[in-house]
Structure 1
């Protein structure tokens, strides 16, 4: 009997050690790329404020707003991931603030993609009126409307959350890790969130798809710049992909809940880390990578800031390329 108990204890300790080792390894593999992506996004944000052309062009202002929301969302998701990996349990008020911040920034991206799609539609279909419709003032007003609309959604969720009788809880300390599912204590809040998310992404997808169809129809006209129309079609397709990836993040928690019921804990933790990286982190860095590589105006300035200046300056001074001229002006 003593030998059997000792053997069972050794097996339990071995499983705990294996789980801990796997958690540490996957946490490192997840956190390092996230830090790299945060650095790239931060550099991209600095790049978007470094030149007057970026601060005075509507589509770059919208891109900055998209990048800002994605960067805050990525940093907040990584913070909650670290808290969960360290097995730290928060109080309900602190977790509620983190979750509401995530909700605010998470809904900014699809709304900004809608504005960016409409801007491309106007640029291709109404090129002569583009400068009068898409102005700096109108862009600023549209961004303020986006943040106000998202803030109203968060405020509504807070009001619904306050309907829950927190005094019935034994303690304000959470029994589980901080997350959106942990804060969904009321059925009404859950139904509201599902309805709002469905309405938001369906509406955004329809607007982007209609913009794409409008650009395709305009491209058949002989008076339309074919090069501009082709670039706009590719950009709108990328917006649809970004919307799809953003929608996939809404099924992250339900998917994990389903998998946790059918898989072993160690395997579940590994799959959770993979899903976290692919569904939560990766889509948040696509905007910086896509626009940083595709846009001919952003790319040379971004590469200049990504590289160490003391290494780049000697190389830039040797070959007077077009990129160097942009950097100097």
Structure 2
């Protein structure tokens, strides 16, 4: 009887967790969808580097949200799938989980150029160079993924791909997990250094600025700080597998769930707040789109 009550309790808790996660993800995806449509419908944004990069983060975050939600649901109810299908799902998760922080770093550099090198901003941040930047972002983001999966494919037996297991991000052995963390931490260390250096440079300009320039640099500083905070959350996300593997934390039933909410979902909701709802131009365009053209505020 006690076992049946325990099973009923676990089933109820799992459903509550699933409902909470689905509600949060639907809210985030709806916001991202509105912002993506707003970007596509506003031609002014198509020629501005920071808005193009912002659209990249929206698409990558939405993609990761959808795939991690699928993995979370499968894992919550202990549903197994074949490993070859699991790998197909996990590869883009790894790739686009890195695309967002690398893009955030590129957006920070764009703000640095706009504030500290305003005369060269049009040249350095043109539409063509932004497209090249996006290709470079995906190239850099794929390096850790190529290294990790090359080792995995070389070491995994052929029969492994036909096996059925619960699909999680931790399908590698311990040594590969340490390698994965080391590669990502090196990458994130470089990005943190870039963001800190940009912040220091912008702060120096902010102290010397006045009037409208003072407001612009102050807003740029706040944006860089928010980018740094989001990057910190992404970095902590890398430690989640080790936290969950710890004997003390692994005994706690809700650790994986809390980690998913705090370090997977939370960073994904910051991008639309930082560059969408906080940006006056984008907010005006969003209001115009949502109100079906009744809100006539000039986007530019």
Match of 2:193 in 1: 206
Q: 1:173 aligns with which of 163, 168, 173?
A: 163
Asked if 1:103 corresponds to 2:81, the answer is no
Contact 1:30 1:273 (8 Å CA) reproduced: no
Query: What pairs with 1:181-260 in structure 2 (closer than 5 Å)?
Result: 181-182=170-171, 184-185=172-173, 187=175, 189-222=176-209, 225-258=213-246
Contact 1:124 1:229 (8 Å CA) reproduced: yes
Change in 2 beyond 3 A, CA 1:34/1:228 = same
In structure 1, distance between residues paired with 2:250 and 2:232: 27
1:167 offset after TM fit, Å? 4.2
Query: What pairs with 1:47-66 in structure 2 (closer than 5 Å)?
Result: 47-66=38-57
Unaligned ranges ≥5, structure 1: 1-9, 317-322
Deviations 1:7-44 (A, max 9, x none): xxx01111111111111111111111111111111111
Match of 1:4 in 2: none
Match of 1:129 in 2: 120
In structure 2, distance between residues paired with 1:129 and 1:73: 34
1:259 offset after TM fit, Å? 6.0
Match of 2:3 in 1: 12
Choose 1 or 2 for highest CA Rg: 1
Match of 1:320 in 2: none
Q: 1:154 aligns with which of 145, 149, 159?
A: 145
TM-score between the two structures when normalised by the length of structure 2: 0.92
Unaligned ranges ≥5, structure 2: none
In structure 2, distance between residues paired with 1:306 and 1:99: 35
Change in 2 beyond 3 A, CA 1:240/1:157 = same
Asked if 1:67 corresponds to 2:51, the answer is no
In structure 1, distance between residues paired with 2:209 and 2:70: 52
Asked if 1:115 corresponds to 2:106, the answer is yes
1:261 offset after TM fit, Å? 5.6
Change in 2 beyond 3 A, CA 1:17/1:51 = same
Contact 1:45 1:64 (8 Å CA) reproduced: yes
TM-score between the two structures when normalised by the length of structure 1: 0.84
Asked if 1:275 corresponds to 2:259, the answer is yes
Segments of 4+ in structure 1 off by > 3 A? Answer: 259-262, 303-307
1:306 offset after TM fit, Å? 4.5
